[in-house]
Amino acid sequence: MSEYLWLVQLDIPEEMEDEFNRIYDTEHAPNISKVPGVLGVQRYVLENPVAGVQKYATLYRVNSPDLPQTPEWLAASAEGDWKTVIQPYAVNPTLSMFRAIPE
């Protein structure tokens, strides 16, 4: 079985960052983690700002490149305050799927 990395990068207005991080850590990431096929979730923040690079990134280890489009993933993503409180303010999203290269 192959492993994939779903990389989600985005920016959020500075005044929303505390709420963004709280909801991501306590609701969004835990909800997505429960979706069958999710192998792990790790969040990152850009250490040294670079023009054109989003401040926040999340790596989702998944067992299928189609997983982020499944009804289970979409339902988990819609739970809690993510969709109504955070998603309207998320800007500059980049969504990328990577396949592991066999050793």
The type of residue at 51 is A
pLDDT in tens, 71-93: 999 999 999 999 999 999 999 99
Residue 102, pLDDT score: 83
For the whole prediction, is pTM greater than 0.75? yes
How far apart are the C-alpha atoms of 35 and 76, rounded to whole Å?
7
Q: For residue 27, what pLDDT band results from cuts at 50, 70 and 90?
A: very high
How far apart are the C-alpha atoms of 75 and 71, rounded to whole Å?
6
Q: What is the mean pLDDT of residues 1-5?
A: 83
Name all domains of the chain by residue range, CATH numbers in brackets: 4-99 (3.30.70.100)
Residue 1, pLDDT score: 58
Reported as half-sphere exposure (CB side, CA atoms, 13 A), residue 34 has a value of 11
3-state class (DSSP) for residue 96: strand
Residue 13, pLDDT score: 97
Is the dihedral angle over the CA atoms 45, 3, 78, 88 positive or is it negative?
A: positive
